[in-house]
Structure 1
């Protein structure tokens, strides 16, 4: 026996995974991990398998044990995703595709049976606009190299599902699985340096190259197939309604590292990514379209157009000399030649010949190839080979994504104050005064300042105005749809939004059009806090009376977008008030839009965790107010949500179709569904509970000792050492609770198993209502739970969150608070609210214990929580040692396992912020 065979035991793969459960697949992957760990570090094997605590390990060994436990959770997640994909395939085989929830087939089958006409389908299709927006919000703790290995394991597990392999082939695949797990264990889990924005751009592009570029065109084809199936003999035009946005490289809000130079580089990188993809696909298309005049009908218009285009080139000799009897190939070579010149120009090099000035030119050429193939009686080649690429160009154009710019009103107001000083005497008045508003109105009528006049501005102000100038430049140079919108966070008034229009005017983005003077970049207010959500309808009504705002909305198809923030409203008011105020704001803003004749479209600023708006996609969309979507839906996708949805092809395809079909179904059904008809008694009950819940939550976060408790009883400060994002954890570097971003707020409360962000105040809100209304109140809440989608969604997500809370572990974290009186006061308040929330949720739902109604989640947590709990306990001790150790070298030795414990718990819980 060789030395190698002694070290590495043979891997014997199960006969097939096609019928195995997620738990069995998880067990198989964990066995492989255990075998790897035993070979490399046998001393941590007992800890990995839960047979022993880690107190007898060195800091290095503990770090490796925590890394292995984090890998264990990654492998379990891979097995769960693979099983979910198998389950969907099983349902499709056994019951039919139209019985698979979350598909166009299912939505259109139900629509046809309900008598929805083809004309109504066409009308909704015409309005359909869906755009997930990928952000660089720091909630992804896994490096790209880790994501890539996870994807390889997923693909190998999918291969192992097949029954076609011989035992020899199956064992070879199993050996590859083990190799990838070994590579995971031998690869560093932590970011050694804080990522730059350029790193974040590359992280976002990873998902496009892996899955999104190919799958987005497939989504349109899936919609077409479902339309043909359920509405035969009807014709529909499926436009590129599903596109992607991004904030990476454009989100300036509190991130000093996003500069105009960074945005310019981001735009170039995004353009190169899409152009590179098209080049690869054109090469493949040229290889396939080897049609010869001897065997196929080649339309004369193809020959004529090819000759005309070749004559326009400076040097077409290389194209003419190749594939002379294969005109489609020559046409593809022509496209390839022009793409190469476009790539040169995008990289800043001088193109040697003609290039594409915009994506529309490439789209037209691909459409021409389709037409020629159809005319030549090869329609299936046109639809199967050319149309997916043409649709990809329509979706991604020459920019991959529509980049949003985001800035906060603190920065824009500072720039406007500089502009005031350059045009007026004295210091600017308060931003809420009539004088300030009158000045803004006047500024919209004046020409921009000259370059010499701007020299008086601060460097920050010049940078802000140059941001808008960059939009004008790159819209013309890269792509007219390269930018999405300018999102103004911390919007508190109409004057705040008008100020953004003034800055856009200074940069030349306000122009005269056929529908009046308009802004070429949509300005989108972001309402985040409870009070801002309450004020939003009045603010938008005021804005839509202003001619420039109104004509800008007209230029966008009589559409004004409004962004609503789930994260900060939750941090500001707690879970129940946040959800209720978000719902009311959407309903009231929708009504404002109807009154003003301008459709209000919502941009949902959601995160991954429930307290930041994370909820099952279909249920969350179905619970939106009637008529509030109408086919237009934008939503942020952040961190671990992006990797969960888009890392693997099967999951990505399903998640994209689930989002699109849910939006389309809401557009078709919401205004005729009983479940979404406003009911006064339900709304009054919600309002009463929300007021009481807000009062309890406000008192809690208003405790002067809460910040000290939070910092001591959680890894809040240590999370920033993970280096998982380029931006600071606080907007302006202050140490107050108000300045702390929502992500670390949620992340740290999840780590210490308090999880207050997803339930605190709910118990008090329900109790006050029940105390006041008695048995009739309980009967009403039970009816609401059965009949109100929003109330059911809120209570279900609260109950799921309560399943994550562990009071005994939370108490261990509280022991890190040195001040005994502070510790006792805050923790006893949390514990009392937790017990109250548990009891009232059970009382309303009628369940016997928390989690009874979610058996799948309960089973999943039963497998994960024992390990998570041990890591939590270890983290408490690591925090205690790290904070009490003064020697720098000793602190550094503790820091690695401490950070790995944070990453491990995040992987186990399935979410960070």
Structure 2
């Protein structure tokens, strides 16, 4: 369901939509399907029955090459259908805004601020919130996006052409030309290989991430800030708000070392340079366009005296004043922008590593460029041209404020296995060259040594005993961060994330590595660490231990001093994926909510507020619930305007590939955080209720018992490997990172992404629902009618419980046990097959009965009309491809002939792509 349109809202009917825009939402999908059929008829006419559903035989009877083409056609159709859906969503939003006003549109600033105004929230409270607001979506390279950039570009072109087709001004001839252009792009997709032929490098992933900034984000993020400014003026017209640059993007691409041996210090340095160049070249293009536009003559518009002085100073500093004046005589703003561009060009040369002459004007940091742009804005405003300042100069200045000289803030991430090894190497280097062994990890002696090492000044002569290469590389990562933070852009780096944090010692170890890397402000390395150290708590046990760990950590003077200098906050990252894999859907959601509430209180008592970084993925089981509802369900007071969240894999292209969608998604994220900060501690729906919390605690424990019973079955691993394309997914080449940490092959070490991906492909989807039915049944058996009434009350009054049940119900709609049994047939051991599948079949039936009884739906997904309609359109083809995938897996695995296996491999991998596209998520 679209978050801006509630179920049952009346939107334009087909005739009205057609009259307004030229085509109906349904017609857009029909147009794209007909054009795809044209392409298929031209190149592979025998595949037309496959697309139309008129085929009398399975494509598994085709040759492997023809099978691959059939699957490619079906995959393209799913992508085109998604384009039509996005287009329809934007239509609905425009229609509501046009007919009912922007404040009636959920997910907009106008809606949130109009509610705040009617609730009596004053302008001062709004301004105070804006000053503390910190929102940062963080783009990761998690391997869940199976489309190549070149294919993404073609789909974006199709989206733009489809939008252009809606114009009512075109003649029939012009409409036919647009249709021909769309068909050409579809044909180009048909002739372009969708699969990565080689595993992408980290460098490829960096360029792919920057693609979205070049296409949409550089332009639309400043526009989003403009939307907020406009909404503030409309709702609080008597107040001039100061709008700080609270919104920035983060990234892990090129900095995430956890389990990825290909992310080295050299690669990180390359990523930082690319990030910087993307922003700097964008500003150059914008400034050139601005200079072309601002052809303002000083005879037509008097120049304020202060700006005349500014211009004179810049011209003298340029060393080429006469030439600049001669090129743009009498045009002071163009002359000023020429000076700005020359300084920016010198800055770009420095960033590229080139030498520039001593004394050459350049920008030392982004603030200096922002200052110059503000001088222009002020001059135009004083000269009675405030709209030119606001509409033309302000967006460029906002862009620099948001993206700085680095595009993103690059986080570094490493797991505690590696960081601990590096810290132990430091012990051997400083202490262990004499006799003795290092203290046992986790012992009081080890803690004492860590604290002593942090309190001891760095040696004047850093040379000492050599340390292993892996440890040296870990420390080099921190050294590089220190050098960059002192260089072109202090904001190039974000935080250091410690994966698998299990103790305070893990946090102290990261501080010690940062100290040896030169990241402390004082030369002795004893006072303040300049880079935020962020623990990541991932499993259920880690989440439960987090409050005690952070209570102890925030009592350590070094950590308190550092967090105070860094802005007075301690950030904590929460892992949605591993907690789900570890404990199941209900337990994960409850433990995450509980940890946030407890950690919030820990921060309040310590005098150091804790903010949260949410490690969400695209699928439901990895935290991928609708943005607005997911934020609204967070515990009261746990956000307070500070929110970081990962954007992973296919989510990035879904949200940010198109300009209209990207603007909507950014506004939705910010407005949802604003709304939570303004309302959460005032709302009854988020106030803790002991009875609700006790029930969720019970349901969490009961669901985990059922989930653990499945996971602890000794045959589950062999069942899972045989009854899903788990191993084959690794052949997709969709990420640079290995699928397992440290090369392990056990279920414990299998990453959460392929775990979710494979259960999704085989239509079991246990990660989204398993254990829910048993939990509700056991709860009702104990509590009876009173328990039934309590769950009904929670369904209406608890946002968290409602979100859980809603997402479970939607997940059940995607499960298909008939197809799941087909996958199970790949398990050779009949006893293993029947035992495991019987457990899943029984739990599914029970979960469906329990959830439908609670929600009142007649069948899974009935309450969600748009979701149901979208799924109904996709499932017939998804089901067909799923059955074909089973046969392809059977043939691929059974063949001993390498050439024959290769002939099936392409079709098999395309089937994985196609199912993922049809279901709308991979991992």
Question: What TM bracket, shorter-length normalisation?
Answer: over 0.9
- Residues 712-738 of structure 1: per-residue CA shift (max 9 Å, x gap): 110111111110100000111100111
Query: Which whole-Å CA distance do the structure 1 matches of 2:598 and 2:22 have between them?
Result: 50
1:763–1:840 CA contact under 8 A, matched in 2: yes
1:15–1:163 CA contact under 8 A, matched in 2: no
Cα deviation, residue 219, structure 1 = 1.2
Residue 261 (structure 1) aligned to one of 259, 262, 266: 266
Query: Which whole-Å CA distance do the structure 2 matches of 1:220 and 1:149 have between them?
Result: 29
Report the secondary structure of 1:55's partner residue: helix
Report the secondary structure of 1:853's partner residue: coil
Report the secondary structure of 1:163's partner residue: coil
Deviates most, 324-333 or 18-27: 18-27
Query: Which whole-Å CA distance do the structure 2 matches of 1:697 and 1:108 have between them?
Result: 43
Query: Which whole-Å CA distance do the structure 1 matches of 2:774 and 2:496 have between them?
Result: 39
- Per the alignment, residue 336 of structure 2 pairs with 331
Report the secondary structure of 2:240's partner residue: coil
**How do 1:163-562 residues align onto structure 2 when only pairs under 5 Å count?**
163-316=168-321, 318-352=323-357, 353-425=360-432, 426-448=436-458, 453=463, 456-512=466-522, 517-562=527-572
- Per the alignment, residue 38 of structure 1 pairs with 41
- Residues 817-873 of structure 1: per-residue CA shift (max 9 Å, x gap): 111111111111111111111011112222222222112211111111010001001
Cα deviation, residue 20, structure 1 = 4.4
Report the secondary structure of 2:398's partner residue: helix
Report the secondary structure of 2:614's partner residue: strand
2:456–2:526 CA contact under 8 A, matched in 1: no
2:796–2:802 CA contact under 8 A, matched in 1: yes
Cα deviation, residue 71, structure 1 = 0.2
Query: Which whole-Å CA distance do the structure 1 matches of 2:356 and 2:733 have between them?
Result: 40
Report the secondary structure of 2:61's partner residue: coil
**How do 1:514-663 residues align onto structure 2 when only pairs under 5 Å count?**
517-663=527-673
TM-score (norm 1): 0.97
TM-score (norm 2): 0.96
- Per the alignment, residue 5 of structure 1 pairs with none
Query: Which whole-Å CA distance do the structure 2 matches of 1:395 and 1:187 have between them?
Result: 36
When residues 29 and 451 of structure 1 are mapped into structure 2, their CA distance, relative to the original with a 3 A threshold, is farther
- Residues 630-670 of structure 1: per-residue CA shift (max 9 Å, x gap): 00000000111110110011111111000000000000000
Cα deviation, residue 477, structure 1 = 1.5
- Would you say how many aligned residue pairs link Structure 1 and Structure 2? 900
Report the secondary structure of 2:497's partner residue: strand
2:318–2:339 CA contact under 8 A, matched in 1: no
Cα deviation, residue 23, structure 1 = 3.0
Is 1:900 aligned to 2:900, yes or no?
A: no
Query: Which whole-Å CA distance do the structure 2 matches of 1:318 and 1:569 have between them?
Result: 64
Deviates most, 258-267 or 474-483: 474-483
| Structure 1 portions without partners, runs of 5+ | 1-13
Is 1:873 aligned to 2:876, yes or no?
A: no
When residues 175 and 450 of structure 1 are mapped into structure 2, their CA distance, relative to the original with a 3 A threshold, is farther
1:367–1:390 CA contact under 8 A, matched in 2: yes
1:448–1:507 CA contact under 8 A, matched in 2: no
2:22–2:168 CA contact under 8 A, matched in 1: no
Query: Which whole-Å CA distance do the structure 2 matches of 1:20 and 1:693 have between them?
Result: 48
Cα deviation, residue 242, structure 1 = 1.0
Query: Which whole-Å CA distance do the structure 1 matches of 2:61 and 2:621 have between them?
Result: 37
- Per the alignment, residue 801 of structure 1 pairs with 811
Query: Which whole-Å CA distance do the structure 2 matches of 1:398 and 1:96 have between them?
Result: 38
- Per the alignment, residue 28 of structure 1 pairs with 31
Query: Which whole-Å CA distance do the structure 1 matches of 2:319 and 2:898 have between them?
Result: 66
1:17–1:160 CA contact under 8 A, matched in 2: no
- Per the alignment, residue 94 of structure 2 pairs with 89
Cα deviation, residue 451, structure 1 = 7.2
Cα deviation, residue 766, structure 1 = 1.1
Is 1:50 aligned to 2:53, yes or no?
A: yes
Query: Which whole-Å CA distance do the structure 2 matches of 1:318 and 1:703 have between them?
Result: 80
- Residues 91-132 of structure 1: per-residue CA shift (max 9 Å, x gap): 001100100000000000011111111111111111111000
Query: Which whole-Å CA distance do the structure 2 matches of 1:22 and 1:451 have between them?
Result: 70
Cα deviation, residue 316, structure 1 = 4.9
Query: Which whole-Å CA distance do the structure 2 matches of 1:812 and 1:139 have between them?
Result: 25
Query: Which whole-Å CA distance do the structure 2 matches of 1:316 and 1:51 have between them?
Result: 74
- Residues 460-518 of structure 1: per-residue CA shift (max 9 Å, x gap): 111111111111111122201111100000000111101000111111212249x9921
- Residues 38-90 of structure 1: per-residue CA shift (max 9 Å, x gap): 11011111112221121331100110010010000000000000010011000
Query: Which whole-Å CA distance do the structure 1 matches of 2:18 and 2:87 have between them?
Result: 17
Cα deviation, residue 776, structure 1 = 1.0
When residues 394 and 306 of structure 1 are mapped into structure 2, their CA distance, relative to the original with a 3 A threshold, is same
1:151–1:647 CA contact under 8 A, matched in 2: yes
